[in-house]
Amino acid sequence: MTKKLVAVTACPTGIAHTYMAAESLSKAAKSKGIEIKVETRGSVGVENELSEAEVREAHAVIIAADAKVDRERFAGKTIIEVPVGEAIKNGGGLIDRALEAAPPAPAAADLSDQVKDIKAERSATATGWYKHLMTGVSYMIPFTVAGGILVALSFAFGIHAADLPNTLPAYLMKIGGAGALGFMVPVLAAFIAYSIADRPGIVPGMVGGYLASQVGAGFLGGIIAGFLAGYLTSWLTRVIRLPKTMEGLKPVFILPVLSTLITGLLMIYVVGTPMAAIMTGLQHWLTTLGQGSAVALGLVLGAMMGFDLGGPVNKAAYTFAVGLLGSGVYGPQAVVMAAGMTPPLGLALATFMAPRKFTPEQREAGKAAAVLGIGFITEGAIPFAAADPLRVIPATVVGSAIAGGLAMLFGTTLRAPHGGIFVMPIPNVVGNPLLYIVAIAIGTVVTAILVTALKKPAQQ
């Protein structure tokens, strides 16, 4: 069977050497009768993108790059990594090195590494709109966390302390609120567009997200701005064809100007007003919920957090709650953090309550899950769910739903987007903190009881 190769080429500017290296490798492979596909990461984005199947079938991977290339997608493959210039000068030699390379020996997986492995697998298999949305969310979260914690620290001086100018609370609010949180929606939109159209999508996405925040369209408007900018830029990249001598104008002049202009006008004249009305209506609905409806919302959001433990459903609930922080709605954030802490804490408790139902490795993982749980890292429950999903996942869903429903029933609120137990001591950050702890504790105990009731004794 003829060996197949794949390659990635990239240079810092992405104009000349990227394509010269790709051409050199392709010609060398053709002369040797070897099948190769070369992905180029140039100034107009990724072209000739490698699919998962192509990477999986490849004997080895050649990375000829002077710019950063993500290696995680090639996990388990032999990688030949060289400067882009070497591929230009010695394409044939690189092909020979790749063909002669032995596949890497599989490493034994440790139970404590399962969270990382499963998250990497989810990331690698994510496609389409969800992949693009999660790319935006992943870049947005550091801004949200940094801004939210700084705003929370300003509340430690008093709920209205930031109203006094030229004081530390006022500066904390300015840095965290106007600064970091002010970039939340633009960054979300920019990196949704980046995921779709690569670097050319960042400018129109950022501007579209800024306009969304300015007109009151909030995070929903930012999401629309990101997809709009990304697909528009991707389309313009494909349809605009220029002579080789003028190709350099496309990424630095033509694409940014056209895509930003069109995205901006659409956000102002078409998207902004209806999305602002939707956000206003959503905010009004959430702030005027009756107790029954509020508890129902808490149950649903909580169940979503406990369903796939950091997967698409969990992230959808979290994104919804985080997006509402900028609108001054703090109840859903309390729900998702309580419900997200419950699965790992409940499973950790279960390993102490019924140790005979868990293997020695799982009992050790339970200790790590406890630490992850108090820090609001739901993925700490993944090793248990992966080993016994039919018994563990129903327990985490019910436990998280109860924690979320109680958080709403007790009228708890949370002004910080992350941090778990570590933000609870900050004054004025958690509304009704004692009842909030009660909600988490009850959800944890319910999860543990259900897990121990459903699971069979482990084979030691």
Between CA 223 and CA 189 the distance in angstroms is 6
- Encoded tokens for 42: 């140039």
Q: For 198-288, where are the alpha helices, taking DSSP H only?
A: 202-214, 218-239, 249, 255-266, 272-287
Closest by CA to 75, choosing from 56, 90, 91, is 56
10 Å CB burial of residue 58 (0-12, 13-18, 19+) is buried
DSSP-assigned letter for residue 76: T
Between CA 160 and CA 157 the distance in angstroms is 8
Phi, psi (degrees; rounded to nearest 5) at 294: -65, -45
Closest by CA to 64, choosing from 43, 47, 86, is 86
Phi, psi (degrees; rounded to nearest 5) at 241: -120, 130
Let me know: does 319 contact 137? Beta carbons within 8 Å.
Answer: yes
User: Which residues make beta-bridge pairs with 65?
Assistant: 10
**Catalytic residue selected from 7, 8, 10, 11:** 11
3-state SS, residue 413: strand
95 is catalytic: no
DSSP one-letter string for 376-406: T-GGGGHHHHHHSHHHHHHHHHHHHHHHHHH
3-state SS, residue 33: coil
Residue 104 — left, alpha, or beta (φ > 0 → left; ψ -120 to 50 → alpha)?
Answer: beta
Q: Which positions are catalytic?
A: 11
